[in-house]
Structure 1
């Protein structure tokens, strides 16, 4: 772009800008924005602006967010199109300000009063007033009044806001033929949108990638639903070549690998052009693998080999940057297949499944630390299960469905290192591999 701009090759500049637009994702956003600003690519700038509004939470959690300039931060905070709750915007504004408090304090004080404070929870507003010294400089004179107004609404405790909070589990129920969400805190169930008949008959797995839930069916059809819109309809997207697909979301793409067909192929779905792309084959030909995204890579964990007639404990890692597979030099402690895997900020969890010879169902759990890169055994689940779903909410791991005791929802708390049954599903027949966690 620099050379093309210097030589005034406008058509080449435009072509490069179009390529950068198509390649835009949370990882490339910051560099693309710098290029657009440096070379005055107005259309590319606008594309970056809209991307940041739609994907604010992902952008805000990057370290590079702290280096954004005051003008762009103001744009994000003031826009009514920013896809984030007021608490989320305020928390990230505070973090950005504290990164260089002397230079950014005035900007913070001018922006904070532009938030729609009534849309914040009372507990978070009280937390701010009680705990954020930055607010005192503009609100100290009304602190007592603010607290009295908040307290008049009842016994409101002070509570911080977490970007990962307000999440719920979503299941696909064959009995009612609709989705239901469950709040894991108060155990309340809420009916959601109905499920199309074409999906009910063939649903296999699901993945959440804001603002959509995507589902893959056994007839290779692929659908999505904008779940936050109560009147949203299922959209049929481009078909995949995968029939029994295990799927995971990473950096704005959906990655899928054949779970039941025993090949070694993986495909990637790009929502920007509604297209599936065949990726490099992995080394091991397995079925019943577990798929997770962590550290910017896709981990394909364990699985069953027809050639060896047994499960494996090996782990293959796909790097989207180099389009290559590599074997993890540290394997699981226990071979397994048809297990479930999920990831937290601390590392990867693999739970349950069938043992090496398929003669029994497992309760065992393993954890791979993102720091040490080693696998360690944790306390086992309460129920043995395979072919089930697992999700993370507020750092806790939830398992649901599958063969075994599919009615029990279990929770693992990493702080106390204990499993407990938090709910027993009644009157629902849920798809075992399709539970996802969404933000409400």
Structure 2
């Protein structure tokens, strides 16, 4: 049986080889007839310059519907046929292509070859022309390619250009030609699941560039285009800040925000796209990671620790020699700004900037008030220093705001003096949360920069002697301790309501219970929003550390690799590109 099967396989292979050999001989003989002008049955008279080009009806008819229809028409039996709309050199090359499947293309002749191939309905020649053009785009120029598309109106040409646009979208979106795309063409690109972008913000940036080129005429098309973005790949803050402000896109931003922040409601939300594009993950535009200001156990110097997501490890990035204990830090562009703190056992007015990529320090203008254990936050490019402890250890009500043009200026004071509070900006406002002024506070205040005023918000459910805050998916999260147990509350600014998401019975507590810290005692704790997840990072009085991530969809905390033994000061989410190689 095996021998019979082997014989059949060998016989089939020999037969295939014979067929291939026959076809090669046949095509070689046919080309010899053409080359020798043997058995010719038609001649074409072509102008510019005038030339007579002989051929075989059967071969040309097999290669092209154009010739098949020509020879079956009124001129079918004519021995001489005139061609007036194609140059003789181009026509002769394409006739040769019908025999050999090959032609000599150059940057100078390929546009004419393409247009002639389209007229002669030589699809294979058209494809080869377009492949040549797209592989020589720098010489043929993008402007020339779009001119060919408009002139030929050929579907194959359009498809080839579309494939190029998909693969080279970042380059295309920066071209002048892109600004003149009609909305249908741009929508077709933005819809593509294979659009080659580093992250979804690249597609958003392209839409806004196209829109701002002619705002009045194009704003009506914005909702149509924005709906094609993978909106769920943005974080809620971006949706509320950038998408919601676009004309007609308010509902899209609300739907995407709800989809992200309330997984249980997703089945009720009608969105076109909820999955990332091929090869694109959430948050991978300028991929973000964590940078901690940290003091290792038994060390007298603070340092910056970077988190390696791929390996779930922490690595020392730099020593912060000028770090001032009890200062408050904030990220501004690619700098960490360290404001105030403890200077020789008294509050400080200092304002220092540490550049992350260059690891260099710079002094900036000092605050008006001496502060330590105060809160800092950025809103619309302005830095706010809020409350804290002043001289004689007195809780402060004063608030000052920094801009590069005006330096530090006082703004409306807090309603309640406080220190060791949490602060965060969200939806164009500043929130100051908890803290103490001789007693632990549950109160929350909101600052509106338009009216330069503070108002009370709903109080937290519990008092937290130590806490950290973060804006995450359109809400404010407070991670702190109550009765010696870690707990988390979430504030909804739209409803002015706090919800406890970590119960006190341990059911949903952070997985590691840390020692209770008395009011007024400072210890390391921080939280941050990274990759649509809430991260809680803490260190206990004995310098043990814990890193945990809240999975909102499963309502669970998951442990990550702990830090080396030490003390947490603050945590920042930064682009990986800020970190220099070692």
TM (normalized to structure 2)? 0.45
Q: CA, structure 1 residues 198+374, in 2 after alignment: closer, same or farther (shift >3 Å)?
A: same
2:413 corresponds, among 272, 281, 293, to 281
Measured in 2, the distance between the counterparts of 1:318 and 1:344 equals 19
Does structure 1 retain, via aligned residues, the 8 Å contact 2:199–2:280? no
Does structure 2 retain, via aligned residues, the 8 Å contact 1:187–1:423? yes
1:331 corresponds, among 438, 444, 459, to 459
Does structure 2 retain, via aligned residues, the 8 Å contact 1:391–1:397? yes
Measured in 1, the distance between the counterparts of 2:496 and 2:309 equals 30
Q: CA, structure 1 residues 161+412, in 2 after alignment: closer, same or farther (shift >3 Å)?
A: closer
1:204 corresponds, among 311, 318, 327, to 327
Q: Cα deviation per residue 1:102-129 (whole Å; 9 max; x = unaligned)?
A: 979xx9xxxxxxxxxxxxxxxxxxxxxx
Measured in 1, the distance between the counterparts of 2:219 and 2:480 equals 48
Q: Cα deviation per residue 1:370-409 (whole Å; 9 max; x = unaligned)?
A: 4433110002323347652111102211122344575111
1:167 corresponds, among 288, 307, 311, to 288
Measured in 2, the distance between the counterparts of 1:321 and 1:102 equals 29
- The alignment of Structure 1 onto Structure 2 pairs a total of residues equal to 294
Q: CA, structure 1 residues 396+188, in 2 after alignment: closer, same or farther (shift >3 Å)?
A: same
Report deviation, 1:157.
6.9
User: Using CA pairs below 8 Å that are at least 6 residues apart, which structure has the higher relative contact order?
Assistant: 1
Measured in 2, the distance between the counterparts of 1:267 and 1:101 equals 39
- Return 5+ residue gaps in structure 2 as ranges: 1-177, 181-196, 226-276, 342-347, 503-508, 516-522, 577-582
Q: CA, structure 1 residues 237+361, in 2 after alignment: closer, same or farther (shift >3 Å)?
A: farther
The alignment status of 1:319 with 2:457, answered yes or no, reads no
Does structure 2 retain, via aligned residues, the 8 Å contact 1:392–1:398? yes
What does 1:5-404 align with in structure 2 at a 5 Å threshold? 70=179, 87=199, 90-93=202-205, 95-96=207-208, 158-160=279-281, 162=283, 166-174=287-295, 175=299, 177-184=302-309, 186-195=311-320, 197-199=321-323, 201-202=324-325, 204-218=327-341, 219-227=348-356, 229=357, 231-240=358-367, 241=369, 242-260=371-389, 261-270=394-403, 272-273=404-405, 275-306=407-438, 310-328=439-457, 330-353=458-481, 355=482, 360-379=483-502, 380-382=509-511, 383-384=513-514, 387-403=524-540
Does structure 1 retain, via aligned residues, the 8 Å contact 2:379–2:425? yes
Does structure 2 retain, via aligned residues, the 8 Å contact 1:164–1:394? no
Measured in 1, the distance between the counterparts of 2:524 and 2:448 equals 26
Does structure 1 retain, via aligned residues, the 8 Å contact 2:328–2:372? no
Report deviation, 1:340.
0.9
Measured in 2, the distance between the counterparts of 1:371 and 1:217 equals 33
Say which one has the larger Rg: 2
Q: CA, structure 1 residues 180+103, in 2 after alignment: closer, same or farther (shift >3 Å)?
A: same
Measured in 1, the distance between the counterparts of 2:338 and 2:450 equals 25
Q: Cα deviation per residue 1:215-253 (whole Å; 9 max; x = unaligned)?
A: 1242332211231x2x34111111222233221121111
Measured in 1, the distance between the counterparts of 2:569 and 2:406 equals 23
Does structure 2 retain, via aligned residues, the 8 Å contact 1:258–1:265? yes
Q: CA, structure 1 residues 403+320, in 2 after alignment: closer, same or farther (shift >3 Å)?
A: farther
Q: CA, structure 1 residues 274+381, in 2 after alignment: closer, same or farther (shift >3 Å)?
A: farther
Q: CA, structure 1 residues 92+402, in 2 after alignment: closer, same or farther (shift >3 Å)?
A: same
Secondary structure (helix, strand or coil) at the match of 1:416 reads coil
Does structure 2 retain, via aligned residues, the 8 Å contact 1:91–1:161? no
Measured in 2, the distance between the counterparts of 1:86 and 1:352 equals 36
Does structure 2 retain, via aligned residues, the 8 Å contact 1:255–1:267? yes
Measured in 1, the distance between the counterparts of 2:427 and 2:469 equals 15
Does structure 1 retain, via aligned residues, the 8 Å contact 2:198–2:285? no
